[in-house]
Amino acid sequence: MLFLDKLEHTNDLTENEQRIATYIKDNLASVSEMSIQNLAAETYTSHSAIVRFAQKMNYDGYRSMRHDIIKAAQQQLSQLNDVDANFPFSEADTAIDVAKNIADLTINTVKKALTQLDEKSLAEAANKIVRSKRLVLFAFGDTQIRARSFQNKLVKINRFAILAEEYGDDSWTSVSLNSDDLAIFISYGGDSKQYLKIIRFLNKQKVPTLLITGNPDSKLKTFATQTILIVQDEYNFFKVSTFASQITFEYLLDTLFSIVYSKAYKDNLINLQNNYDKLTQNNILTT
């Protein structure tokens, strides 16, 4: 029987033992790191009271009971809870509560994103990246941070992407593109008027485009060559932060990079080794 089940089904507890049981249940993570003296102090009981409680729970003593408390705390941390993507924590949450909620939100968000992806769409997007002569990323605000991370990864496989808004030149960048290039628009809301103008223009110029968005009603979809739509439970404005959308973008861009990498896996590994050798032989790597 698991520790929490034992705790729930142990009868005939004294008032002191009931207080110990309640405290352990409400503070499982912190109790897992407590000595018997600390637990006695926190529950206003004694060393001997803790031992008697452990024995009533069918343990030899506190040490063997604490072993199961540690396992129960680890199991509790690994259990996923539904977390509001817009307000994943409250002022009443402890530091570990916040950490647990953000972990749950991250895992739930990635799992929800995965269920909305399909093999054909991922392969098509990766092939567009591989075939493109030039790769231009349209992203601003928080999303541009994700785009920069993607840009940084691509450098490792000799793919050099351009951030269209780097110097506020997204319009000039767009008019230089042609059918050999690929423009990737990363926008969760998918409602930027400037992006709509640009993607409509690129559509007329037969420039391949990939739209990554969370808005099924985005007007940009009409003009995009391909759209990857991943919807999360995130509001446009009324929220603590853009947790879910940015987790989604990071996950999807990491996935696309990995697929592209895998298409020339051995060559990329050889290139990695060659570049490393050049860096070390020429004393370029910083230590």
**Domain annotation for the chain: domains and CATH numbers:** 3-78 (1.10.10.10), 120-281 (3.40.50.10490)
From residue 146, give the alpha-carbon distance in Å to each of 76, 78, 225: 31, 27, 22
pLDDT in tens, the chain (287 residues): 678 878 887 888 999 999 999 999 999 989 999 999 999 999 999 999 999 999 999 999 999 999 999 988 887 776 667 888 889 889 999 998 899 999 999 998 999 999 899 999 999 999 999 999 999 999 999 999 999 999 999 999 999 999 998 877 898 999 999 999 999 999 999 999 999 999 999 999 999 999 999 998 899 999 999 999 998 888 777 788 899 999 999 999 999 999 999 999 998 899 888 888 888 888 887 65
Take residue 239 and report the two structure tokens written for it: 């929220």
Q: Quick one: pLDDT at residue 69?
A: 93
> Can you list the alpha helix ranges (DSSP code H) found in the chain?
3-9, 15-26, 28-31, 36-42, 47-56, 62-78, 95-115, 119-131, 142-155, 170-175, 193-204, 243-263, 265-281
